[in-house]
Amino acid sequence: GGRGMWPVSLGNRCCAKLGIDECTGSSTHPDGYPKWHGTEYLPFDSILTTLEAVIFFLRHNFAYFFHFNSCLDVSPRQCPHVVFHNYRSTIHSFPHHHPNLDGDKLCRRIERFRLLCHHSREARGARTPLFIRFLGCNEEFSLVEELYSLLRLWAGPGLRLFFVCMMQRREPLLLRHARFPRIHFYLVGRVMVMDFKPIREACRFAVYDEAGLLKCKSVTSRELKKMVVPFKDPYTTKSDDCDETWLRPLDGRDPAFFPDCPAAQKPHQGSHANDSLRAAVRRGGVEEVRAILQNREGPYGRPSFKSPADANTWDNGGRTPLHDLCDLAAGGRLSVARAVLVAGELLLAHGDPRCRDKGGLSVLDAFEQASAKAKEPGAAAPLRALLAAAALEEAVDAAALYSALEMLGEPRRGQMARILAVGGLRPLGEAELTWRNPPPDSESIIAELEEQLRAFEKLPELQRKKEMKKLMLEWHPDKNADRLSLATTVFQYLQTKKGDIINK
């Protein structure tokens, strides 16, 4: 990038931060190799976290970060003379700090993290943030894409995400995510408590990749899960190297709702700001939602609420404001333009379309359910496209997405376009340009196809899929060399209609 990188530890313990320190120099001399920004402390540097904890605190803007249920004194077997007073919950613990006595220091770290991410997301040419996670167990691989999509809402599309996974293989193996090339995995053998070499290597590899000099094998999420050896961090979970697990047991509870934090179990977490936000979303009040999320000053020059509202606040069923918005828009009870504007405000406040309620229903699932019952199922397509793009879904309706961005208007349009990594103008391919402006010879064919597609809509779902597949195969360019230009035009037209027909 030309301006170096900003390495950020995402835990799971302090080894990630110490490894970064080894290749960045001290805070008084931050010009370490290879010209990192420095070593300012950030919130996940000195605490033990599950990946669910990182996602929870990012989703809810570090709400309940200082909560703990008990204190357990722990001592690593490699360092028996060292005793940590471990203030712990089910998802995180503080072995190096007292959450209350050191609250001011930790608050400054949280604020520093917010500023870093906001600058990376909003400022063109900002330093590239490099988020490094030392995985605590193999189950965390299933949360990789969820974490990446959420980090993009915080820090924009330029970020890099690096996972170091121990107890995998004797010879280290570097892999790149096949779909998201800015995610890397470094599979290594057993890593001792004070061995920071894998973290240093992660920093080095990221620099090479930023310069376009790194070549490594790509792997899909499914392939990665198959090749990973099951493990748990032996130094923080009960094992031959650890007398007792440092975190409290979940006992089958869902970590997404911080089950052992009483304040988090209240409706809307007992926050008046969250209640007000939920009501404003249901009314479709764009300015009201924006004012609540930004916690603007009230009539006496003070903020309206003690703390800003949480864009992912949940009710007793675990449903978030984005769930409500999908129900209203897809059901026709709120105009699509207003729903898109409200969604834009929520997304800019880190509203996460991957959030699931307590029944496992995601925001996009809620949209599909509401659309199935609606009189005009495709009417809210721009809202769905915007949420799908933010959730990094593979298939996104490009025309509907650009329509949503147009509805947002400036400056929100530019901000969302940067986060979603889409250009301000959408280039039209030759084939799309042809079917949008068909010449005389293809106009009749397009009209005939439209009649066929209307007929498909009346068929049962299985038959619909079969007929659509057959029609696309018939018009595939590889099977129509004699009329290649026409076949390409028709095939691309069918691709744009495929989703609407199959999901009818």
CA dihedral 316, 289, 63, 263 (to 10 degrees): -30
pLDDT band at residue 422 under the 50/70/90 scheme: confident
Q: 159: closest CA among 418, 422, 425, 424?
A: 418
Domains assigned to the chain: 6-27+36-227 (no CATH), 272-420 (1.25.40.20), 432-503 (1.10.287)
37 or 279: which carries more pLDDT confidence?
279
For residues 51-62, give the mean pLDDT: 97
Convert 437-456 to b/e letters by CB count within 10 Å (16 or more is b): ebeeebeebeeebeeebeeb
30 or 307: which carries more pLDDT confidence?
307
Is a pLDDT exceeding 60 seen at residue 115? yes
Is a pLDDT exceeding 50 seen at residue 66? yes
The predicted structure's pLDDT at residue 220: 94
Give phi and psi for 305, each to the nearest 5: -130, 160
Average pLDDT value for the chain? 88
pLDDT band at residue 109 under the 50/70/90 scheme: very high
Is a pLDDT exceeding 90 seen at residue 498? no
* % of the chain exceeding 90 in pLDDT: 62
Is a pLDDT exceeding 70 seen at residue 434? no
C-alpha pair distances (Å), 158 with each of 122, 153, 154, 350:
11, 11, 11, 16
pLDDT band at residue 3 under the 50/70/90 scheme: low
The residue with tokens 């809307």 is 268
Global pTM reads 0.81
The predicted structure's pLDDT at residue 45: 93
pLDDT band at residue 33 under the 50/70/90 scheme: very low
Which of 32-36, 166-170, 180-184, 304-308 bottoms out in mean pLDDT, i.e. has the lowest? 32-36
Give the separation between CA 268 and CA 275, rounded to whole angstroms.
6
56 or 483: which carries more pLDDT confidence?
56
Which of 39-48, 88-97, 131-140, 289-298 bottoms out in mean pLDDT, i.e. has the lowest? 289-298
For residues 311-318, give the mean pLDDT: 95
For residues 229-235, give the mean pLDDT: 93
pLDDT band at residue 1 under the 50/70/90 scheme: very low
The predicted structure's pLDDT at residue 432: 56
User: Across the beta sheet with 84-88, what order do the strands follow?
Assistant: 48-49, 92-94, 84-88, 70-74
Is a pLDDT exceeding 60 seen at residue 428? no
Give the separation between CA 487 and CA 137, rounded to whole angstroms.
50
For residues 176-193, give the mean pLDDT: 95
The predicted structure's pLDDT at residue 2: 47
Using one digit for the tens of pLDDT, what is the confidence trace for 264-309? 999 889 899 999 999 999 999 999 999 999 886 555 556 667 788 9
C-alpha pair distances (Å), 247 with each of 101, 278, 391:
20, 33, 30
Give the separation between CA 488 and CA 481, rounded to whole angstroms.
10
Which of 160-164, 292-296, 380-384 bottoms out in mean pLDDT, i.e. has the lowest? 292-296
pLDDT band at residue 447 under the 50/70/90 scheme: confident
Is a pLDDT exceeding 90 seen at residue 445? no
DSSP state of 242: B
The predicted structure's pLDDT at residue 355: 97
Is a pLDDT exceeding 50 seen at residue 254? yes
Residues 6+ apart with CB under 8 A from 330: 367, 370, 371, 374, 377, 379, 380, 383, 384
